[in-house]
Amino acid sequence: SKFREVIKANSAGHLSEVNTYEIGMAAIDLGAGRKTKDDKIDPKAGIIFNCKIGDTINKGVVLAELFSDSKSGIDNAKKRITNAIKISKSKPQKLKLVKTIIY
């Protein structure tokens, strides 16, 4: 890709929330997805996340890397992802993957 941008943590804490809809829309901004069936997908565009929910985050650590051939796409995606990621002081409660087993 022509452009690469990193998103760094503005504060320390724990990654507590990620708005996946906004992440998907950011991928579209980069060219890695489609708004309409006629849109072309750029196979070089994408997002690499370096952390997951519950991880301890230090200020300045790289949370994600963005790749695109579009500078405006990078700028829009960076805004979306920055707003989609929430870092909190307390560690988020870990949810059970399986709530109950029915026999």
Domain boundaries, the chain: 3-88
- Predicted local distance difference test score (pLDDT) of residue 17: 95
The tens place of each residue's pLDDT in the chain, 103 residues long, gives: 899 999 999 999 999 999 999 999 999 999 999 989 999 999 999 999 999 999 999 999 999 999 999 999 999 999 999 999 999 999 888 877 888 889 8
Quick one: CA dihedral 48, 54, 55, 61, positive or negative? positive
- The DSSP bridge partners found for residue 56 are 14
> Which ranges constitute the DSSP H helices of the chain?
20-30, 71-84
Rounded-to-integer distance, Cα 27 and Cα 44, Å:
11
Token couple for 54 = 């519950």
What is the rounded (10 degree) CA torsion for 79, 83, 85, 91? 150
Token couple for 19 = 């708005």
Q: Quickly name the fold that domain 3-88 has.
A: Aldehyde Oxidoreductase; domain 3 (3.90.1170)
